[in-house]
């Protein structure tokens, strides 16, 4: 089935995920399989980023969250980290006009204070530049770890309680959700992980409680819009019960 046929089938089914999250894995292996340095895979992976952003926008998704750089990634060789930060700045500066033109608001999730000044400035400028866009949100998880996100939310709620602005007995799930980096954004309906790895890698642990998970062996630089549509097609076949069961007639 061609890409256009898949898209037509998905649209015809009508059950489009409101929010898709992707763990973009396999850049390094893709490069090593070709005798190239790991950074070559990161560079080629930018094409896949562009493809999935376009695909989600075409389908009318409300949000797309891409796991771009984890807190654990700071442990990688400094040379690789510098290249990743340079690619991040280059992507944001190159794509922000296209994002704005297509009504896509950029939002970055994570402990951004750890990021070097130049890429951080590019992030802040792009967030401001696209702030009034309302067709879709593109979340880039950078210097991100879900446990850290939950810790930051807990610290915020503790400060609010200590200041007398929050009654601890009133805290519920919605209170916690409002303190997360993803506040105001619906939980992911679909999580895609490339490269075949069977783990979550500390990504959106709170938000994916009832998310459908799709694992593909495709390495991220090879992931295409058609692959995105195939994952969504698989999602549309699933019976989402959210812990309940359907009553029998």
Burial of 56 (0-12, 13-18, 19+ CB in 10 A): buried
Gap between the Cα atoms of 180 and 175, Å rounded: 9
Catalytic position from the list 13, 15, 25, 62 = 25
Q: Report residue 105 as tokens.
A: 């608001």
Catalytic position from the list 15, 47, 73, 116 = 73
Gap between the Cα atoms of 193 and 216, Å rounded: 6
| Of 108, 103, 139, the residue nearest 125 (C-alpha) | 108
Active site residue 27: no
Residue 69 forms beta bridges with which residues? 142
Active site residue 222: no
Q: Please, where are the H alpha helices in 35-172?
A: 38-59, 78-101, 117-129, 146-162
What is the set of active-site residues?
Answer: 25, 73
């Amino acid at each position: 089935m061609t890409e256009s046929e898949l898209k037509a089938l998905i649209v015809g089914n009508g059950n489009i995920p409101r929010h898709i999250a992707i763990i973009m894995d396999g850049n390094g292996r893709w490069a090593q399989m070709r005798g190239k340095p790991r950074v070559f895979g990161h560079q080629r992976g930018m094409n896949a980023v562009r493809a999935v952003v376009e695909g989600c926008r075409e389908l009318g998704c409300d949000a797309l969250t891409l796991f771009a750089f984890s807190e654990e990634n700071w442990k990688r060789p400094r040379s690789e980290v510098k290249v990743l930060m340079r690619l991040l700045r280059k992507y944001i500066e190159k794509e922000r006009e296209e994002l704005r033109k297509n009504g896509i608001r950029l939002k970055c999730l994570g402990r951004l204070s750890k990021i070097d000044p130049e890429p951080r400035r590019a992030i802040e400028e792009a967030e401001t530049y696209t702030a009034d866009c309302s067709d879709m949100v593109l979340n880039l998880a950078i210097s991100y770890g879900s446990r850290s996100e939950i810790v930051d939310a807990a610290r915020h709620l503790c400060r609010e309680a200590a200041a007398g602005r929050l009654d601890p007995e009133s805290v519920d799930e919605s209170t916690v959700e409002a303190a997360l980096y993803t506040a105001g954004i619906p939980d992911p309906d679909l999580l895609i992980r490339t490269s075949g790895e069977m783990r979550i890698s500390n990504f959106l642990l709170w938000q994916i409680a009832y998310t459908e998970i799709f694992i593909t062996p495709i390495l991220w630089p090879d992931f295409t819009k058609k692959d995105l549509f195939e994952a969504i097609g698989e999602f549309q076949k699933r019976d989402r019960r959210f812990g309940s069961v359907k009553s029998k007639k």
